[in-house]
Amino acid sequence: MKKLITSIVTAAALLTLAACGSSGSSSGDSSASSDKVTVWAWDETFNIKAVNEAIKVYENDDVDVEVVTMSQDDIVQKLNTSLASGNTDGLPNIVLIEDYRIQGYLSSYPDAFSDLTDIVNEDDFSSYKFAVNKVDDVIYGVPFDSGVAGLFYRTDYLADAGYEAADLEDITWDDFIQIAKDVKEKTGHPMMSLDPSDLGLARIIMQSAGEWYTGEDGTTVTIKDNESFKAGLNVLATLLNEGLVEQVSDWDGGVNAVQSGNTASAPTGAWYSSTIQGAEDQSGKWAIAPIPSIAGNSNSVNASSIGGAGWYVIKGVDGEDNAKDFLDKTFASNKELMGTLATEIGLVSTMNAAEETEEYTSGLDFYGGQKVFQDFSQWSQEIPAVNYGNHTYAIESVLTESLQRVINGEDIDKVLEDAQTQVEAQIAN
């Protein structure tokens, strides 16, 4: 009988995983015959719960699926150590990897991941995901959650400032700043929270124009002449310098700014909806509009992304074929599962057929009856595809200082020219 096993990493488990480098990698026919599949992921309330729901619908009583919960940082560290050594002992069959990181793994360890082209139909998912999980014509990942961005906003605060839903449709960031000024003047509420060390909003703005810190090859640094990133820094600096935001220093500060009722909006990923809905007393007071675009930039659209991840199979680990079968029957094809996950964890799936489910076509009371999942799913189809490359976080470790310089009034062209030089040196080492 199929077993559902959920295990949180204990000290003993960590010792087992730490022993990854002590013996040779698994190989041979055993990869096809093992009746156990191990999955690594983070976040008990979202990703882990998603796997457990997938296990319930997986119709193979001969395969046990074990879910190991650990932090994303631990997953990254263990993958780096094991893949660099060429040793897969102790690694899982399936691992969840963030979109911003996967190209680094696929380029550095091209033979470490299974080819999933035979179980993933590219036409079945949002196209932007395949700039992330694909190399040449080979698909290595099953797309999971969408990082599609939306403008969450308080309908009551916006109404007090003279705005209605139609006024938030297909606006630019210039419009957003003007709305922020009106909201602050007429209601006293800051438009949003903002951590000056977090470049998430700049990423959203940049991807809306199909650009990134690097070019299409994922390696050529394109900061100096990157007009969309320049626009993003200018938006951040304006919001901060004109006092239109509540400054916070960490994630919890942003959560408190929303749930306390202080801020009027949150331009961020769809996954933030669970945080918004955490303030139950605000039910019926929120709606979601498309993300703003860059004024004067013909390539910028009212759709973008922040975050998101996919499921990957480690090649050569016992149970490889069963791991692919599990993904094939669940995250790669099962639209009913996507509907369930919309209800259970607030997942916005990148599977196109999810739009057909009852969960996606129904309105949510918290958002005034808005068909939130349907809207997010449609916006997800419009996100420009971007190759995040190998160095997103390394690059941002340099660019945080660049933002501070722009906030302080330094010439932005000079700042970006300096950043280009610093980043090229950083990633060359």
Q: Mean pLDDT throughout 132-149?
A: 95
Other residues' Cβ atoms within 10 Å of the Cβ of residue 216: 15
pLDDT digits (tens, 9 = 90+) for 200-251: 999 999 999 999 999 998 899 999 989 999 999 999 999 999 999 999 999 9
Predicted pLDDT at 8: 34
pLDDT above 50 (res 18): no
Pairing state of beta strands 94-98 and 36-41? parallel
Predicted pLDDT at 13: 36
pLDDT digits (tens, 9 = 90+) for 252-280: 999 999 999 999 999 999 999 989 999 99
pLDDT above 60 (res 20): no
Q: How far is CA 85 from the centre of its chain?
A: 28
Predicted pLDDT at 426: 84
How far is the C-alpha of 38 from the C-alpha of 77, rounded, in Å? Answer: 18
Q: Which two tokens stand for residue 149?
A: 């961005």
How far is the C-alpha of 80 from the C-alpha of 259, rounded, in Å? Answer: 37
pLDDT digits (tens, 9 = 90+) for 288-325: 999 999 999 999 999 999 999 999 999 999 999 999 99
> Do residues 257 and 339 touch, judged by C-beta distance below 8 A?
no
pLDDT digits (tens, 9 = 90+) for 175-207: 999 999 999 999 999 999 999 999 999 999 999
pLDDT digits (tens, 9 = 90+) for 66-103: 999 999 999 999 999 999 999 999 999 999 999 999 99
pLDDT digits (tens, 9 = 90+) for 53-63: 999 999 888 99
Contacts 24+ apart (CB under 8 A), 361-366: 365/283, 365/284, 366/276, 366/277, 366/282, 366/283, 366/284, 366/286
Confidence class of residue 31 from pLDDT cuts 50, 70 and 90?
very low
pLDDT above 60 (res 389): yes
Domains located in the chain, CATH noted: 4-146+308-378 (3.40.190.10), 149-304+391-428 (3.40.190.10)
Predicted pLDDT at 428: 74
Nearest to 377 by CA among 54, 128, 106, 90: 128
Q: Which two tokens stand for residue 59?
A: 């119709």
pLDDT digits (tens, 9 = 90+) for 331-381: 999 999 999 999 999 999 999 999 999 999 999 999 999 999 999 999 999
Q: Mean pLDDT throughout 39-53?
A: 95
Predicted pLDDT at 390: 87
Average pLDDT of every residue of the chain: 91
Predicted pLDDT at 15: 30
Torsion angle (degrees, nearest 10) of CA 175, 180, 182, 185 = -160
How far is the C-alpha of 357 from the C-alpha of 361, rounded, in Å? Answer: 7
Contacts of 225 (CB under 8 A, 6+ apart): none
Predicted pLDDT at 5: 39
Predicted pLDDT at 12: 33
Angstrom distances, CA of residue 371 to CA of 126, 288, 289, 358, 374? 19, 10, 11, 11, 6
Pairing state of beta strands 192-194 and 245-247? parallel
pTM above threshold 0.85: yes
